[in-house]
Amino acid sequence: TTKLSKEKVEITKEQQALVKSIVDAYNRHQIPQDMTKKLLQEQYSAEENFLLLTEMATSQVQVLVEFTKNIPGFLSLDCEDQIALLKGSAVEAMFLRSAQVLSKRMPNGYTEVLKERVRNSGMSEEFMTPMFNFYKSIDELQMVQEEQALLTAVTILTPDRPYVKDYQAVERLQETMLVVLRKLCVLQHPQDPQYFARLLGRLTELRTLNHYHAEMLTSWRMNDQKFTPLLCELWDVQ
């Protein structure tokens, strides 16, 4: 086992401030309530479900940008690198977000309705399976909100995205998050010293979903489904 689990793990004052600012940003930036209400009310059809998810995806990108701007140090990165990180991590952040939302037990059956609409949105089986497997593996972790917020920040601050110029600057920021995340995991799950490693394993699983997503977009376009201008720009489609 790692030394950490033997020693008393201390979170420093500045690390506490870091976690607080990221968790606050994570909780502050959510898709608008009226959109989630629509999800519960609109009638079911593959087209209607796809439209709703497209609206949610578009809103989620805007939420993601606002959240990212609140990650300490992000705005001091090179501007073009900021764009490269957002473009490169948007799909993973979206799938991570959907897994975190779907693994919550919502009182009004929101997660069941959302799952049903995802299942019936014109997405083919071959992408559905890996995506729902991912949801299950995130659900098993039962992450607390600090872990969810930090894991999202770690995903965004992945240095090896296309077109990132100052790799080291991004790596340093990600490292800062990982150090805090590891301490939180040890403190939150003392009985499971491998918890942090399992959390990082989810990031590897996330990357494979990136690959499926490109094909998912293509298959949707084959059925001439329309995306929004923001999604087209983000994913270089149309």
Among 18, 19, 60, 189, binds ligand MUF (CB under 6 A): 60
56 binds ligand MUF (CB under 6 A): yes
Residue type present at position 109: G
Q: Is 4 or 51 the residue whose CB approaches ligand MUF more closely? A: 51
Least distance (Å) between residue 70 CB and ligand MUF: 16
Among 118, 143, 151, 199, binds ligand MUF (CB under 6 A): 118
97 binds ligand MUF (CB under 6 A): yes
What is the SS3 string spanning the chain? CCHHHCCCCCCCHHHHHHHHHHHHHHHHCCCCHHHHHHHHHCCCCHHHHHHHHHHHHHHHHHHHHHHHHCCCCHHHCCHHHHHHHHHHHHHHHHHHHHHHHHCCCCCCCHHHHHHHHHHCCCCCHHHHHHHHHHHHHHHHHCCCHHHHHHHHHHHHCCCCCCCCCCHHHHHHHHHHHHHHHHHHHHHHCCCCCCHHHHHHHHHHHHHHHHHHHHHHHHHHHHCCCCCCHHHHHHCCCC
Least distance (Å) between residue 14 CB and ligand MUF: 29
Q: Is 97 or 189 the residue whose CB approaches ligand MUF more closely? A: 97
Among 19, 101, 153, 164, binds ligand MUF (CB under 6 A): 101
Q: Is 118 or 185 the residue whose CB approaches ligand MUF more closely? A: 118
Least distance (Å) between residue 53 CB and ligand MUF: 4
57 binds ligand MUF (CB under 6 A): yes
Residue range at the interface with ligand MUF (CB under 6 A); choices 2-10, 50-58, 172-180, 186-194: 50-58
53 binds ligand MUF (CB under 6 A): yes
CB 121 within 8 A of CB 50: yes
The neighbour count for residue 149, using CB atoms within 10 Å, is: 25
70 binds ligand MUF (CB under 6 A): no
Least distance (Å) between residue 117 CB and ligand MUF: 8
Residues at the contact surface with ligand MUF, assessed by CB under 6 A: 30-31, 50, 53-54, 56-57, 60, 94-95, 97-98, 101, 114, 118, 227, 231
